[in-house]
Structure 1
Amino acid sequence: MNVTIVDIARKAGVSPSTVSRVLSGHPKISAATARKVKEIMEAMDYHPNVMAKSLVSKVTRTIGIVLPRPAEELFLNLFFSEVIRGVVTQATRSGYDLMLTTGSTEREEVDAVNRLVRGRRVDGLILLYSREGDPVIKLLKENNFPFVLIGRSEEHSDILTVDNNNVQAAYDVTRHFIAQGHTRIGFVSGPPDLTVSKDRLAGYRNALAEAGIAARPDWIVEGDFLQESGYRAMSFIMNVPDRPSAIVVMDDVVALGVLGGVTELGFKVPQDLALAGFNNIPMSELTSPPISSVDIGIYQLGYTASQTLLRAVKGEPVHQQRMLIPHRFIARESSIFKPPS
């Protein structure tokens, strides 16, 4: 038989309403009474009915994460598991559970988020991507629903965001190659509708322009965040006339594919192609050669997004609309090589 509030109240010698106040953290309940009731709850293995409680309080103590499409490919990239780890750590410490949602199409994605919002199944949402013209952001703003975007919005300056300075980060990587004498520098990008792809491409172009180096379209390849994308990019880039001697890659998982593709074609890194990526995943240090990478603080992105969302959900002040997580470039063997003059 399930233990009820009435059972707890009888055992503690208090009223059921007092037990309810203990569960809700009511300030008028003394510390001694709260401690006594909680000890009895634990001894009797009592678990409150969260659904029933949320109907009364209109608070679910659950936050949602909107995953980017396509979901079936999501966890092949360690960025997403690490950023979710950051979200989970902060949410759990604050007593919140997590719910994940996505869709295979834009319509499915909007419908899934709409169900969470209209049904009040979560108290707030974290979006793990930033996309141009995103209808999900429009939906959340129209409903005045708390959310935090991991990334930068080009259209909405009034929303809460947690991001890196991706323009500067890509600029730093490109300057690293230029400083070693490279003048033929390529770029393997991500999906073109993502803001992070645009920002990193802009940083790459800025560094080239500052150095008086032309950005050649045939040295820039668009793809996705999978290892296979980097592998495919190399079958094209390494066969263009006057091919690049160095390449900036949007993501370390893609860089692993680049490394595999270059090796299979009979070239060497960094002697024939210097290489650097983003995210500093653990695998980057274990490859041969180890891959240079920009550490963007993935865990901290998730942790800060979760922390910011919970403040917004509780009505606490959030002092910055846009929070920036610092980045640092870690040079390893894949990018440290001076080409012959």
Structure 2
Amino acid sequence: MKEKSVTSHDVAKLAGVSRSTVSHVLNGSNAVSLSDETKEKVRKAARVLGYRPNSAALMLKKGTTDTVGLLITDRDSLRVDGFIPMLHYAIADVLRREGYSLLLETFERREGVNPYNDLVVSRRIDGLLVLSPHHGDADLRNLIESGFPVVMIGSIGHPDEVCVFSETAESIDASVAHVVGLGHRRIGCIPFAPIEFAAAEARLTQLKSALAAHEIALNPRAIIHADYSAESGYAATISLMEDNPDLTAIFAGNDTIALGVIGALNSLGLSVPDDVSVVGFDDLPFAAYIAPPLTTVRNDAGAQGRIAAELLVQRLKGLPIQEPRVRIFPEFVERASCMSL
């Protein structure tokens, strides 16, 4: 007797959701807003039952999905990081012109679970963009080595990687030279993410190196990590100033954190820049228009997004890539949030 085929009704029943929800989740539709918990229930039910939607079968027959994935490696940053929307807009603009849809996903690392499988093995996408990849991500390394079209915004140093990344040394050196030239020696730092996040650590490492070139050591007690949001920057600044009340300058990990830094300093009765100078990073659209206008580093999200999307399209079309590792050089921008002592 022929075994009964699994249907979307079976998946919906096991997951405890409607058939339309199953369709939206498994076909990668963004037409309806669904929680991550609901999406995971549907995907788990589909995996348990061995179900593949008809649309997926059709796309497998065709050989392509005309869909590209953008994977955000830290889901918390998606809520508050102003850099990501500009990056997303630039990527989507290129892909739209080339006839591709863009599927936005967040990274969730769980014991024994490969976070790329759901996107790649099920053939929901033709190629993948990865924002801020982690150096120790063995699954990503394996994916690169498999030959699947992957382009990273950031680098893990793999010999076969295709990526675009910011070379921040010169711009951070310039920002440090500016602050030190204004007479500041008691300096603090609030990285924009927890200590294990590679991009935040890279900026902190470069900041320490730049300060050391001026014979200034960054006191470990003058470093407090934020957690992506302006609110976390605010809280970190309060703690930083309690432990280091003599600081005269603060390097914020990005402009979003700098907003929280300035707010916290104001709440403590300290003026920016009269009492404490502040430097940001990214040059987000608001940076030139807050009070005072923010001294920062212009890290062009639009350029990175466009280049990454263009590289992926080249890979999808089987075209040769002349420069697989493209470097972007951010630019120091002097404004009014820094002042001489």
TM value normalised by structure 2: 0.79
SS at match of 2:227: coil
Which of 175, 178, 184 is equivalent to 1:176? 178
Q: Tell me how far 1:100 sits from its aligned partner.
A: 1.5
- State the distance in 2 between where 1:178 and 1:281 align: 24
- Check conservation: 2:109, 2:115, Cα contact below 8 A: no
- Check conservation: 2:168, 2:329, Cα contact below 8 A: no
Q: Indicate yes or no: 2:75 matched with 1:70.
A: yes
Equivalent residues, number: 287
| 1:10-50 Cα deviation digits (max 9, x unpaired) | xxxxxxxxxxxxxxxxxxxxxxxxxxxxxxxxxxxxxxx98
Q: Tell me how far 1:167 sits from its aligned partner.
A: 3.0
Q: Tell me how far 1:218 sits from its aligned partner.
A: 1.1
Q: Which residue of 2 aligns with 1:327?
A: 330
Question: Which structure has the larger Rg?
Answer: 1
- State the distance in 2 between where 1:182 and 1:53 align: 64
Q: Indicate yes or no: 2:226 matched with 1:223.
A: yes
Q: Which runs of 5+ in 2 are unaligned?
A: 1-53
5 Å matches for 1:94-133?
94-103=98-107, 105-107=108-110, 111-133=114-136
- State the distance in 2 between where 1:179 and 1:288 align: 23
Q: Indicate yes or no: 2:235 matched with 1:210.
A: no
- State the distance in 2 between where 1:147 and 1:297 align: 21
- State the distance in 2 between where 1:241 and 1:187 align: 11
- State the distance in 1 between where 2:113 and 2:305 align: 22
Which of 85, 88, 92 is equivalent to 1:84? 88
Q: Which residue of 2 aligns with 1:54?
A: 59
SS at match of 1:170: helix
Q: Tell me how far 1:242 sits from its aligned partner.
A: 5.5
Q: Tell me how far 1:64 sits from its aligned partner.
A: 0.4
- State the distance in 2 between where 1:171 and 1:152 align: 21
- Check conservation: 2:145, 2:160, Cα contact below 8 A: no
Which of 273, 277, 280 is equivalent to 1:274? 277
- Check conservation: 1:114, 1:139, Cα contact below 8 A: no
SS at match of 1:223: coil
Q: Tell me how far 1:56 sits from its aligned partner.
A: 3.0
Q: Which runs of 5+ in 1 are unaligned?
A: 1-48
Name the aligned partner's letter for residue 60 of structure 2. Answer: L
TM value normalised by structure 1: 0.79
- Check conservation: 1:167, 1:202, Cα contact below 8 A: no
5 Å matches for 1:1-341?
54-71=59-76, 73-103=77-107, 105-107=108-110, 111-154=114-157, 156-189=158-191, 190-241=193-244, 243-335=246-338, 337-339=339-341
- State the distance in 2 between where 1:223 and 1:137 align: 26
- Check conservation: 1:188, 1:230, Cα contact below 8 A: yes
Name the aligned partner's letter for residue 252 of structure 1. Answer: D
- State the distance in 2 between where 1:198 and 1:75 align: 21
Q: Tell me how far 1:195 sits from its aligned partner.
A: 2.4
- State the distance in 1 between where 2:222 and 2:170 align: 20
- Check conservation: 1:151, 1:195, Cα contact below 8 A: no
Q: Tell me how far 1:132 sits from its aligned partner.
A: 3.0
Q: Tell me how far 1:142 sits from its aligned partner.
A: 4.6
Q: Tell me how far 1:267 sits from its aligned partner.
A: 0.4
Q: Which residue of 1 aligns with 2:40?
A: none
Q: Tell me how far 1:241 sits from its aligned partner.
A: 4.1
SS at match of 1:258: helix
- State the distance in 1 between where 2:138 and 2:231 align: 29
SS at match of 1:284: coil
Q: Over the residues paired in the alignment, what is the CA RMSD in angstroms?
A: 2.1
Q: Tell me how far 1:236 sits from its aligned partner.
A: 1.4
